């Protein structure tokens, strides 16, 4: 294979990966739902503040190592007419080591709680954001810069590709809602739907071209119930689809006093090609609560034939303020 062919393939792969980009997905999104649905802003009610930080490292043994960081903070506001609202902010940063691809996005969201009959609540929300994507194209050496005979690499290229690239900047509009049933006898459940990139922003790196970002859909639910009097079990499910790709996560979380133990199966129902697997990973979660904080560590065990990736690591820390308007302090819903 010639150097020219190799470089062409690398560029084609980069374009294929980044122009058809998919949203970052967190293993712990089943437990920290702010990552998938703005309807969870102010979800804890009673003027409480929620905040958290997630750090994800994917495939550390490969040259394609991906690091993702996520921060969120939101607060609920109780109104005199028994309704409520929530306001939130979140920020995301992702880096791919091989190409030095970077993705940044900040979002602000608003949720309004509508009190329905029989202990049901409806929480519609909207999210507005600004995103930026860039990749280290300037560090690439194009074919016409290489003089094979002399071994000299020219600093400049006449290839139109080298001067027709832009950093991608875009506005983003998303929405979501959550239906929640008020807890009774320590049994609670909710389900939600979110739709991201409603305006389908242009994410093309090539100037004057239009590559609309695929809409991201998510349908998710949660059922929590007591176990052996003092303990609890939370069952979760989350279906996601973006473009031709989809994913279904099904899992459970056991809480014993301040300790948490969870397991999730990540599946690929579409199986887009002959090499696809239905079960892509088994994800374990270990957590501990200390005062108002919860610390979580998860590890994804790869079940496909992609190779020795050393899995995916995720660390989280979340904060929940005390319930100052409740007769007694109420624990987390999630």
Q: What is the pLDDT of residues 252-302, one digit of tens each?
A: 999 998 999 999 999 988 777 766 778 989 999 999 999 999 999 999 988
Q: Residues in the chain, how many?
A: 334
Q: pLDDT (tens digit, 9 = 90+) per residue, 95-124?
A: 987 778 899 999 999 999 999 988 899 999
Element (H, E) at 17: helix 3-19
Determine whether 92 is exposed, middle or buried from the number of CB atoms within 10 Å of its CB (0-12, 13-18, 19+).
Answer: buried
| pLDDT higher than threshold 90 for residue 182 | no
**Confidence category of residue 203, pLDDT binned at 50, 70, 90:** confident
State whether the Cα torsion 70-257-254-223 is positive or negative. Answer: negative
Residue carrying structure tokens 């608003």: 110
Closest CA to 285 of 311, 322, 253: 253
**Confidence category of residue 324, pLDDT binned at 50, 70, 90:** confident
Check residue 295 and give its pLDDT. Answer: 98
User: ∠ CA(54), CA(189), CA(44), 5° rounding?
Assistant: 50
Give me the chain's average pLDDT, please.
Answer: 84
Q: Please compute the mean of the pLDDT values over residues 36-59 and round it to a whole number.
A: 93
Structure tokens at 127: 């999210």
Residue carrying structure tokens 């028994």: 82
Determine whether 19 is exposed, middle or buried from the number of CB atoms within 10 Å of its CB (0-12, 13-18, 19+).
Answer: middle
What lies within 8 Å, CB to CB, of 150 at 6+ separation is: none
| pLDDT higher than threshold 50 for residue 10 | no
Element (H, E) at 261: strand 259-267
Q: Given this structure, which CATH class describes domain 3-320?
A: mainly beta
**CA pair distance 42, 292, nearest whole angstrom:** 16
**CA pair distance 107, 131, nearest whole angstrom:** 9
Closest CA to 217 of 192, 190, 181: 192
Structure tokens at 23: 């949203």
Domain assignments of the chain as residue spans, ordered by start: 3-320
At 80 the three-state DSSP class reads: coil
Q: 308: how many CB neighbours lie within 10 A of its CB? A: 9
């Amino acid at each position: 294979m010639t150097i020219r062919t190799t470089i062409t393939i690398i560029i084609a792969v980069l374009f294929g990966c980044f122009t058809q980009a998919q949203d970052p997905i967190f293993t712990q999104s089943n437990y920290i739902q702010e990552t998938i649905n703005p309807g969870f802003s102010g979800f804890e009610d009673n003027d409480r503040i929620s905040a958290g930080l997630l750090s994800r490292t994917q495939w550390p043994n490969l040259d394609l190592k991906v690091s993702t960081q996520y921060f969120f903070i939101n607060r609920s506001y109780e109104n005199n007419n028994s309704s409520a609202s929530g306001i939130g902010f979140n920020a995301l940063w992702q880096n791919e080591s091989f190409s030095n691809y970077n993705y940044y996005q900040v979002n602000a969201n608003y949720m309004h709680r509508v009190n329905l009959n029989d202990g049901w609540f409806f929480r519609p929300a909207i999210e507005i954001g600004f995103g930026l994507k860039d990749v280290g194209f300037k560090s690439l050496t194009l074919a016409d810069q290489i003089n094979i005979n002399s071994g000299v690499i020219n600093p400049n290229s006449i290839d139109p590709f080298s001067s027709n690239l832009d950093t991608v900047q875009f506005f983003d509009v998303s929405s979501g809602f959550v239906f929640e049933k008020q807890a009774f006898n320590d049994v609670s459940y909710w389900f939600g739907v979110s739709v991201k990139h409603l305006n389908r922003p242009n994410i093309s790196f090539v100037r004057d071209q239009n590559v609309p970002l695929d809409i991201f859909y998510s349908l998710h639910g949660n059922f929590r119930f007591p176990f052996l009097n003092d303990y609890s079990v939370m069952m979760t499910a989350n279906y996601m689809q973006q473009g031709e790709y989809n994913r279904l996560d099904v899992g459970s979380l056991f809480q014993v006093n301040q300790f948490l133990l969870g397991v999730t199966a990540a599946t690929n129902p579409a199986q887009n090609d002959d090499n696809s697997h239905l079960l892509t990973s088994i994800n374990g979660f270990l957590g501990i609560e200390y005062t108002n904080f919860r610390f979580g560590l998860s590890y994804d065990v790869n079940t496909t034939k992609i190779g020795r990736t050393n899995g995916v690591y995720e660390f989280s820390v979340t904060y929940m303020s005390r319930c100052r308007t409740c007769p007694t302090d109420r624990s987390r819903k999630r």
